[in-house]
Amino acid sequence: MARIIFHIDMNSFFVSCEVAENPELYGKNVAVAPNASSRKSIILAASYQAKAKGVKTTMHINEALRVCPDLILVESKHHLYSEYSRKFFSYFLSITPLVEPASIDEGYLDVTDLCKNENPIDLAVRIQKEILEKFSLPCSIGIAPNKFLAKMASDMKKPLGITILRKREIKDKMWILPIGDLQGVGKKTVPLLKELKINTIGDLANFKNIKMLEETIGKNVAHSLIAHANGEGSSIVDVNRFNDAQSVSNSTTFDADEYDVDKVKVTLKALTHSVCNRLEKTNVKAMTFTVQIKYNNFKMYSKSKTLDTPINDFEKVYLQIEDLFDDLHDLPFGIRLVGVGASKLKPFKEKQKQLTIFDSFDENEKDIQINKLIRQINEELGSELLKIGVDKKSK
């Protein structure tokens, strides 16, 4: 039997939390900013009333006040938003144990078994009503047979929307949308697709020259996006999403909001070194690599890429990581956390690298000896204290 998946997305979450704490803000032009007293700060979230006046997320405060002079600015309170997130996720778990968090303000629920005794629309209405009554948080709910379509559906009507998106309806409801609205299409991919005259999701779903598409955006990405454009996606709600034993990952949280991309990439290099060292230590290679970014608005984004052959060599892995980061990062928010992950692990036997006429034997041998020495020292220490450094001045 087809699964019934809900994607529940809180509407203007930060503003909704502020209104819940101060009902006098209800129905007014409200915006949340990390430094509300600074005109150079940016808007993290805006009420729908403010959005109707032209206030947008990531807009500078001085510009927001220009389009909406009576805008009420509220200082962001991340501890408050985390507490409300904990509350509504606890509520989700009281509905069903099959809950997969997607970010601080959204998650997937598998309600297939519940809908044996309750109509999916009635269940969605009940959940939406109870979240509003218990926590004063409006939300939109997408209902579909897989997570991808459920996510697309929840974005179609806000605030307080409930949208069903069946596979037989994607032609009328989804194919008409611009290609940039397709989940998984990054900022670097949009112009590449438009060069192929792929302007809508329907254009991609019906694109015939698969070989050209593969050559333009890569084989795995091409097939993944075509599958999504045709409504395909996973129906598995992963309750252990952040505890996958079949993966290796590492992340770090910055002491302060980080806006310097070069500094973030230095950190990504260090994280990639750590992940590659762990792959080598356990004699495995990975086929799928993931970059995760958490911004100071508490939104978490991730992007993955699967290769045709597994690798664990730092230089090769970092090329994939940097490319994923460049495609994923396009928001002006400060970055709070970055993470690097490797999955789809494959065992291998360590062997000497085959040199080509383009390799320098001395440099290659030096890298091999350095890596061996680091592993030996770490094994004696019983830790991973010694790691390869990253030159901050390096381009």
The per-residue DSSP string of 97-110 comes to: S-EEEEETTEEEEE
CB 7 within 8 A of CB 140: no
Question: Would residue 106 show up in a list of annotated catalytic residues for this protein?
Answer: yes
Strands 72-75 and 247-258: unpaired
Helix (H, G, I), strand (E, B) or coil at 307: strand
Helices 261-281 and 361-381: crossing angle, nearest 10°?
70
Instruction: Return d(Cα 190, Cα 223) in angstroms, integer.
Output: 16
- Of residues 197, 153, 201, the one with CA closest to residue 176: 201
Instruction: Return d(Cα 174, Cα 228) in angstroms, integer.
Output: 11
**Residues paired with residue 42 on neighbouring β-strands, in sequence order:** 60
DSSP secondary structure code for residue 142 in this structure: E
Q: Specify the long-range contacts of residues 309-312, CB closer than 8 Å, at least 24 apart.
A: 310/285, 310/286, 310/344, 310/345, 310/346, 310/348, 311/285, 311/286, 312/276, 312/279, 312/280, 312/284, 312/285, 312/286, 312/342
- Measure Cα distances from 322 to 197, 260, 291, 392 in Å: 27, 15, 9, 15
Instruction: Return d(Cα 73, Cα 339) in angstroms, integer.
Output: 32
Sequence letter at residue 160: L
Instruction: Return d(Cα 366, Cα 273) in angstroms, integer.
Output: 17
Instruction: Return d(Cα 292, Cα 327) in angstroms, integer.
Output: 12
Q: How long is the chain?
A: 395
Q: Of residues 106, 232, 280, 363, which has the active-site annotation?
A: 106
In what order do the strands lie in the sheet containing 45-46?
45-46, 30-33, 72-75
Residue 127 corresponds to which tokens in the numbers above?
A: 């959940």
Residues noted as catalytic = 106
